[in-house]
Structures are given as structure tokens and as C-alpha cells.
Chain A
Amino acid sequence: MSTIVLVSVIVMGSLGLLLGLVIGFFAKIFKVETDSRVDLVAELLPGANCGGCGKAGCADFAKSVVSGENPPGKCPVSSAEQINAIAMALGIDAGGGFKKRAVVRCGGDIHQVARKINYNGVLDCASASLIAGGPKGCRYGCIGMGSCAAVCPFGAIELVNNLALVHPEICVGCGKCVSACPRGVIQLVPIESTVHVYCNSPEKGPEKRKNCKVSCLGCRKCEKTAPEKFKVEGFLAHVQYDAPVLPTEEDVEAVKCPTGALLTAARHKEIETNDPEFSVNE
């Protein structure tokens, strides 16, 4: 009985040894130099492959972080702790100030914007914008068919009353929606900013007014009230997102925008979600 055990052990052992040697031999000739740090960084990254950093995916970004091309902070999705963890692991500077949120710079929902044509086609913003300049009267605002919502990997965009609405608490600022929008309505803004101009039309005030009740008329009221925070270019006001102090709710109250194009993000969301019949004029 003991002999069969002995024979088994010998057979298995020798075979194992042989195969081990063969593998060792192959490992020697087909040796690949890999940087273990790349795998480490890739593991610490969220793995959403959203492309917000400008790289093809998280693995690609990890490579660029290890090579020093990009700081870890360039990843828009990772939280501050995650980025710090990567920086600690590599012993480099985290790099900051990249955190962004997307904002749809249009307040023209179905109640505010006149529909000029009877659109009967593909329900996709890019397709619709090819037909006679899109179904809404305004040629610069949100089309409201949700191309941005379709590409958002995080489900942060909701369509309310035919208007795309970014939920800031879900949005990570990867910027996929920015490139998906045929109108360029969506902008990436610093995460700290709470006040936005909800209009994107460079047309003359009266032209805009014909199409939309909540457009920015370019009256310069905001610029006069807080010149360092708002600037009117042409007929459209812009929040100065790179200003040292970002506008707050008090600024919005002080300005008293006549059309309601200047709003805090919270108020904008409240208007669109809670009160579908709301109109500034009524």
C-alpha cells in the first residue's frame, strides 16, 4: 500500500518539477518589463473609463500618471481621498483645481421657448439639429432630446420639461456631455460655483426675447452690480468662473435679473422640477 503512495508522489513530483522548469524557461525567453506602479494606480482609479481626463481610459491614464505626464488630480471622477492615495503611493504631488461640474446653460424649457416647427423625426439632439436648425425657436439653447443624458456614464443628467438638467451631486465633470451636445450648451465649471447664467444665445436681445422668455437680454445689470463677477460679451452675460471670488446667492438677489436667466443652481433646479408651470413673467 505504501508503495503506491510513494509511486504517486514520485510521479506527481517529477512531473510538477518538469513542468515548472519548462515554464521557468519560457518565462525567461518571453520576459516582459512591466511597471507594477501602473497596475497599482489603475487599481486606485475608479475604472469608469469615462475619458474625462482626456485619455483613452483608466489604464491609459494610469500610465500617464506614472510617466509624470498628468497629475493624479486630473482624474475628474476620483474623490479627493482617492487622488491623495494615488499621490501618496507614487510619492508625487496630487495636483488640484481640476474638479469640475457640468452645467446646462439654458433655462428654455418647454414652457419658456416657442416651438417654431412641427418636428417629426429622430429623437436625438444631434439628428434634430440637422433639420432646419432644430425644433425650438432658439438656435443656441438646449434641444431637450437627451443626447447628453444618453452618453452620461453616471446618469447625472435628467430631462425635465424638455430641458436637460445636471444633478450636481452625481455629476463628476467628465465632460462627455459637453462633446455630445450639438449646440455646445453644456459647460464645465468649477465645482464650487453655484451661480450660472442660464442662457447661451449670442443673438440680439429682442431676437432672443421673441423666442424665449428666460433668455439673457444683455442688459448689463449684473455687470454693473458686480463687475468682477459677471461680464457681458456681446449680448450675453457670463459668470467669471476664474474670478477670485465666485458669485453667491446674495449676488443673484442684488442683481435682480429681469428675465431670470441668472440663477443659483439650486433655484434653477427647484423651478424646473417642482413647478412645471412656473414662468418668471407670470
Chain B
Amino acid sequence: MKYIELAVGAILVYNFVLSRFLGICPFLGVSKRISTALGMSGAVITVMTLASAITSAISRYLLVLKFEGKVYDLRFLQVLLFILVIAALVQIIEISLQKLSPKLYQALGIYLPLITTNCAVLGAATINANVGRSVLDATLFGCFSGIGFALALVLFASLRERLDLAAPPRACAGIPLALVTAGILAMAFIGFSGLC
């Protein structure tokens, strides 16, 4: 039950993109095609899950050190450490993707290294640390949050593929219309509020 609640909360109610407004950059950047959106979603789910696991372990066991009877509170280093871990993870994914799927690597382009600064990833890590979740809970939360991000991204990409066929006024075409669409999509997700 607890995990269902965690899943519904992370995917629908507190969707990272549409409720918390984190990770907007890749949300707008790689949502032109469903295929690239799916690739990006996969990458983000991987990074978020791994990052949540590692960062929650760090924040639980490394940030408050007990050494020779003394307590060293290193929580001021939290953001610094998290970024370090995420950056390393992204680097690893980038290296392996370049080898394993050069096509996806090309399609994601600049947005792949930018996952490093995707605030959704850092946000998930920070929320985990603040709430004080166990490593298992945090990992699941990271995974669900990633799925929530993927859901929003793919939904939005499908909408944009349809919008591509429309002929809006020139001033609205492209990003302006995409932003309006994102707003309406976010409003739709308000419907889930209060679910858990």
C-alpha cells in the first residue's frame, strides 16, 4: 500500500514536470518527436533511479559522520555532493550511449549532458534527503519520479507532433504554442491533486 501511494504520488499527483515544475528544459527541448522523447525518458529514469539510490545512501551514511565519539555534520555539503554524483552518472550514461546507440546519442544531442543540471534529478535527491527516506524507498521514489517525468514528456511530445500539423499564426508557432500546451497539460494534472 505504501508503495502504491508512493507511485501514484510521484507519477501523477506530484508529477515532477507538471506539478513541481522541475526539469522544464528537457521537457521543452526534446519533446518534438515521440521517438527522442522516449529515449530521453529512458535516460532520465535510469539517472534518477541510480542517483536517488546513491544520494540517499550518501545522505544517510556519509553526511552525518560519527568518528571517535565526535559527530561531524556535513549536511552543508549536500548539494555539492549530489551534483558530483549526478554528473558522474550522466557522464557514464553518455559514454555508454555513444557506444550502444549512436543514433539516440545524436538525437538527444546537448540535452543528454544537460541531464546533469536537470533539476528534477537533483530535486528527487534533495526531497529524499529532506524527508529522510530509507535507501529502498528513495530508490523507488526516484524510479517513480522518472516514470512521471517520462509520462509528461511523452504525452507532451505526442501533443506537439499533432500540433506540428496545425497552421497557427506565425507569432504563436513553435515554442509559444508549446508553452501554452504545457500549461493546459499541467492544468489537467491538477485533477489528480488530493489523491494522496
Q: Which residues of A contact B (CB under 8 A)?
A: 3-4, 7-8, 11-12, 15-16, 19-20, 22-23, 26-27, 30-32
Contact = CB atoms under 8 A, between A and B. Distances in A.
Contacts of B98: 30, 32
B180 interface: no
A30 B100 contact: yes
Nearest to A20: B88
Contacts, number: 49
B91 A4 contact: no
Contact of A23 (B72, B80, B88): B88
Interface string B58-98: 10001001010010101001001100110010011001101
Contacts of A3: 70, 72
Interface string B152-166: 000000000000000
A12 B80 contact: yes
A32 B99 contact: yes
16 contacts: A3-B70, A4-B74, A7-B72, A7-B74, A8-B74, A15-B84, A15-B85, A19-B85, A19-B88, A20-B88, A23-B91, A30-B96, A30-B98, A30-B100, A31-B99, A32-B98
Contacts of B62: 11, 15
Contacts of A16: 84
A27 B88 CA distance: 12
Main secondary structure on B side of the interface with A: helix
Interface of B: 58, 62, 65, 67, 70, 72, 74, 77, 80-81, 84-85, 88, 91-92, 95-96, 98-100, 102
B166 to A, nearest CB: 16
A22 to B, nearest CB: 7
A26 B77 contact: no
Nearest to A18: B88
A19 B91 CA distance: 10
Given A12-B81, A15-B81, A19-B85, A7 B95 contact: no
Contacts of A30: 95-96, 98-100
Contacts of A12: 77, 80-81, 84
Given A11-B65, A11-B77, A30-B95, 7 more contacts: A8-B77, A15-B58, A19-B85, A22-B92, A26-B96, A30-B99, A32-B98
A26 B92 contact: yes
A4 B96 contact: no
Nearest to A59: B106
Nearest to B93: A26
A32 B81 CA distance: 29
B75 to A, nearest CB: 11
Nearest to A25: B92
A185 to B, nearest CB: 26
Contacts of B85: 15, 19
B193 to A, nearest CB: 38
Contacts of B88: 19-20, 22-23
A43 to B, nearest CB: 14
A19 B88 CA distance: 6
A116 B191 CA distance: 59
Nearest to B70: A3
Contacts of A19: 84-85, 88
A81 to B, nearest CB: 28
Contacts of B70: 3
B60 to A, nearest CB: 14
B96 to A, nearest CB: 5
A32 B99 CA distance: 6
Contacts of B77: 8, 11-12
Nearest to A14: B62
Nearest to B99: A30
